[in-house]
Amino acid sequence: MPIARAAKRAVVRLGAVTLAGALLAACGGSSDDSSSDSAGGKVTITVDLFGSFGYKEAGLYAEYEKLHPGVTIKQTDTEDEADYWKSLQTRLAGGAGLADVQGIEVGRIASVAQQQADRFEDLKKYGADSLKDQFAPAKWAAATGRGGEVLGLGTDVGPEAMCYRTDLFEQAGLPTDREELAKKWATWDGYLDLGKQYKAKAPAKSAWLDSVGSLYSIMIGQEKERYYDASGKLIWEQNPALRSAWDHAVQAADAGLSAKLDQWSPQWNQAFSAGSFATIPCPAWMLGYIKGQAGEAGKGKWDVAELPGGAGNWGGSYLAVPKAAKHKKEAYELIKWLTAPEQQTTLFQKQGNFPSATGAIEKVADAKDPFFSNAPIGKIFGEAAKEAPVQVLGVHDQNIAQQITNALSEVERKGTAPEKAWSNAKKGVENTIG
């Protein structure tokens, strides 16, 4: 026993010493990172993104590294934007752990511009003003702070279309021609009717669409005013357009048209190759994601048609440089290059993210994608981008949208009464904003 006790004492002492050492190290250790990796003209630029920006897949980082010897780009990526935003906010509040380049979703850009302008670099410092004419005016304006700061450069926009599986359509006896389909589902009611036809003859374990949440999201993307009006007042509860999108989603749930999957969940990912759904509302940036999940085996089985009910926009992003970044100048040079019309063009041709730079939009008008049965994606998305309404953005757009799609999932998966789900959504929104 005395031996054990002596050993214990030694361990405790050792523990105390280690702890003290760790504390000292923690106090002095935070400053030497930057000096070590910029030594000898070598710079590592870190890029932190969400979802599918597609830069790496399109080979843009490799190209930039070749153009700028000594520069290495390291990318980290979170699939679900909600998770990404959470951790970004935590790191911004702590002022540490931030990458040199951070992606910002358009649903969050109002929060950045109105609440957090002091946490991101004003890119005017580096001459961003000269880039203004490259971008669609609305895209540029949304990332401008109250004092005129330029807080981010626009990457893509999210013109909407409908992606579908031609092989599954064929099996269910539906037409597969994209023009014919566009006529049949000119309205959302037409889309749901076609869904019911599909369901009657569908292959086993295959639903019409992935989730009613995505149906809601694509429909609300067709509206100019969604959650806030132009004066910044919350109007979502009274907004008839929102209610109409909600009602259609409820109808789809009632008719059993959905595969009941959570977007961005592992099960949803698996479903792309398993053929669990025949259609998925797709903003342009979804094309790259579909390709990634469906893989080579999916090539030629997918197609893109015009969206029911007119043009809309869902998502699109910005690249920003936080104040706490280590290599701000280099980061700016990188995002300037990545968002330039030439690179946006490449990105669309390879990945499908639709350009926000006006110069690039013209260049991609003829683009076709072999993966999607040679669909004229340049034309489909280009027209959608031209006709889509310029949306009113608000600080809590993304949070409110999340609560609503969550409530719709209750209707879809648990059979919750729509009115009860609506009141749950209201409670959720109050909780979020409150």
Partner 1 sequence: MTLTAPETPAGPRQARPKPAAPPRRPGPARRTWQKVSPYAYVAPFFTLFAAFGLFPLIYTAFVSLYRVELQTPGDMEWRGLGNYTALFGDEYFWTSLRNTFTIGVLSTVPQLVMALGLAHLLNYRMRGRTFLRTAVLLPYATSVAAATLVFAQLFGRDFGLINYALGLVGVDPVDWQNGTVASQIAVSTVVVWRWTGYNALIYLAGMQSIPNELYEAAAMDGASRWRQFFHVTLPGLRPTILFTVIVSTIGATQLFGEPLLLEGSISGGISHQYQTLGLYMYEQGWGFFHLGRAAAIAWVMFLLIVVLVGVNALIARRRSRKEAGR
Q: Is 211 in the site for partner 1 (CB under 8 A)?
A: no
Of 267, 306, 367, 378, the residue at the interface with partner 1 (CB under 8 A) is 267
x/- map, 213-252, partner 1, by CB under 8 A: ----------------------------------------
Q: How far is the CB of 261 from partner 1 (least distance, A)?
A: 8
Non-local (6+) Cβ contacts of 85 within 8 A are: 50, 105, 108, 398
Q: Closer to partner 1 by CB, 237 or 430: give it.
A: 430
Q: Is 419 in the site for partner 1 (CB under 8 A)?
A: no
x/- map, 38-77, partner 1, by CB under 8 A: ----------------------------------------
**Only segment of 42-50, 78-86, 134-142, 169-177 that touches partner 1 (CB under 8 A):** 78-86
Give the amino acid at 68.
H
Q: Is 166 in the site for partner 1 (CB under 8 A)?
A: no
CA 202, CA 59: separation in Å to the nearest integer?
39
CA 166, CA 101: separation in Å to the nearest integer?
39
Q: Is 115 in the site for partner 1 (CB under 8 A)?
A: yes
x/- map, 271-310, partner 1, by CB under 8 A: x--x-x----------------------------------
CA 74, CA 424: separation in Å to the nearest integer?
41
Give the C-alpha distances (Å, rounded to integers) separating 280 from 289, 310, 367.
12, 16, 21
Give the amino acid at 60.
L
CB 382 within 8 A of CB 157: no
Q: Which of 142, 177, 377 is nearest to 282 (CA)?
A: 377
Q: Is 431 in the site for partner 1 (CB under 8 A)?
A: yes
Q: Is 147 in the site for partner 1 (CB under 8 A)?
A: no
CA 381, CA 344: separation in Å to the nearest integer?
14
Q: How far is the CB of 289 from partner 1 (least distance, A)?
A: 17
Of 350, 379, 413, 426, the residue at the interface with partner 1 (CB under 8 A) is 413
Q: Closer to partner 1 by CB, 72 or 423: give it.
A: 423
Q: Which of 203, 204, 145 is nearest to 172 (CA)?
A: 203
x/- map, 83-112, partner 1, by CB under 8 A: x--x--xx-xx-----------------x-
CA 261, CA 202: separation in Å to the nearest integer?
18
Q: How far is the CB of 392 from partner 1 (least distance, A)?
A: 20
CA 309, CA 311: separation in Å to the nearest integer?
7
Q: Closer to partner 1 by CB, 43 or 411: give it.
A: 411
Pairing of β 101-105 and β 43-50: parallel
Q: Is 414 in the site for partner 1 (CB under 8 A)?
A: yes
Tokens at 358, concatenated: 């006006």
CA 9, CA 316: separation in Å to the nearest integer?
59
Q: Is 416 in the site for partner 1 (CB under 8 A)?
A: yes
What's the alpha-carbon Rg for the chain, to the nearest Å?
A: 24
Q: How far is the CB of 419 from partner 1 (least distance, A)?
A: 15
Q: Closer to partner 1 by CB, 2 or 41: give it.
A: 2
CA 81, CA 88: separation in Å to the nearest integer?
10
Q: Is 24 in the site for partner 1 (CB under 8 A)?
A: no
Q: Closer to partner 1 by CB, 45 or 259: give it.
A: 259
* The residue count for the chain: 434
CB 311 within 8 A of CB 186: no
CA 201, CA 204: separation in Å to the nearest integer?
9
Of 30, 72, 76, 270, the residue at the interface with partner 1 (CB under 8 A) is 270
Q: Which of residues 375-404 bind partner 1 (CB under 8 A)?
A: 399
Non-local (6+) Cβ contacts of 271 within 8 A are: 210, 259, 261, 277
List of E strands, 51-172? 71-78, 101-105, 153-165
End-to-end CA distance of the chain: 59
Q: Closer to partner 1 by CB, 111 or 344: give it.
A: 111
Q: Is 2 in the site for partner 1 (CB under 8 A)?
A: yes
Q: How far is the CB of 192 from partner 1 (least distance, A)?
A: 22
Binding site for partner 1 (CB under 8 A): 1-2, 16, 19-20, 80, 83, 86, 89-90, 92-93, 111, 115-116, 205, 262, 265-267, 270-271, 274, 276, 399, 406-407, 409-410, 413-414, 416, 424, 427-428, 431-432, 434
